[in-house]
Amino acid sequence: MGRHPQPQIRQRLLAACTDHALAHGLPDRLEPLAAAAGTSSRMLIYHFGSRDRLLREVLGQARQRQLEAFTELLRLRPDEPYPQTLARAWSAISGPEGEPYLRMFSRLHDSAGEPLWPGFRRAATTDWLAPLEEGMGSLGRPELATVVLAVIRGLLMDLDATGDAERTGRAFRAFLTTVEGPAAAQAHSGRA
C-alpha cells in the first residue's frame, strides 16, 4: 500500500524551494533545491512528479509573490499623486526587493523560457495593466497604462542586461516628468 498524498508537506517543500530559487536563481539540478528544502531529490520527484513540474510550480509561486507585492506597490492611493506612487514602485521593483524576481523571470521573457512556462511573456505583459489603468485614470489618462508598463518592462530589461541602476533610474524619473506634465498643466490651468 502506497503513501497517501500529504499536501502540507508538499506546500512546505514548494515554499522552501521557492525561497531558495528567489535567493539563488533556478538551478539546473534538483540537489540545491532538495538541500534547501531539507529533503532528497527523490522526495521532490515523489511530491512533484518531475524536475520540470517542480520548477514550473516554483516559478508559479514566485510569480504569485511578485504579483501580490508589486500590485500593492502600483495601486492607486487616495492621498498620493500617482506619479509619486510610480516613483516609489520603481524604486522597489528595480531595487533589492525586486532583484530576485528580475533574476528569476528575465530568462522567461525570451523564447528559451517557453518550455518551462508556456504563455509567460503574455501573462507578464498584462498582469500589471489593471492597477496601472486605475492609477493613470486618476490623471485622466488610463490609456497610458500600456505606455507606462512598456517603459517599466523596457527599463527592467535594460537594468537586467547592464546592471546600470543609476542610468535606468534617471530614465524612469525623466519619463515620470512626461506623465506629470499634462496632469500638472491641467491642475495649474484649473487654478488660474
The cell numbers describing 176, all together, are: 515620470
Write down the residue that cell numbers 534547501 correspond to.
Answer: 36
pLDDT band at 113 (very low <50, low <70, confident <90, very high): low
CA distance between the termini of the chain: 81
Mean pLDDT, the chain, integer: 87
Residue type present at position 129: L
Residue boundaries of the structural domains of the chain: 7-191
Residue 177 has pLDDT above 70, yes or no: yes
> What pLDDT is stored for residue 190 in this prediction?
46
94/101 Cα distance (integer angstroms): 10
> What pLDDT is stored for residue 76 in this prediction?
95
Say how many residues make up the chain.
192
State pLDDT tens for residues 78-106: 999 999 999 999 999 999 999 999 888 87
Q: Which of 5-14, 61-70, 110-119 has the lowest mean pLDDT?
A: 110-119
> What pLDDT is stored for residue 167 in this prediction?
97
Nearest to residue 98, comparing CAs of 85, 110, 89? Answer: 89
Structural domain 7-191, CATH architecture: Orthogonal Bundle (1.10)
pLDDT band at 123 (very low <50, low <70, confident <90, very high): confident
- pTM value is 0.80
> Region 14-23: what's the mean pLDDT?
95
> What pLDDT is stored for residue 121 in this prediction?
73
State pLDDT tens for residues 26-85: 888 999 999 999 999 999 999 999 998 999 899 989 999 999 999 999 999 999 999 999
Residue 6 has pLDDT above 60, yes or no: yes
149/127 Cα distance (integer angstroms): 10
3-state secondary structure 71-87: HHHHCCCCCCCHHHHHH
> What pLDDT is stored for residue 112 in this prediction?
53
Question: Percent helix, strand and coil across the chain, each rounded to 5?
Answer: 75, 0, 25
Please answer whether residues 145 and 132 qualify as being in contact, where contact means their C-beta atoms are separated by less than 8 angstroms.
yes
Residue type present at position 124: A
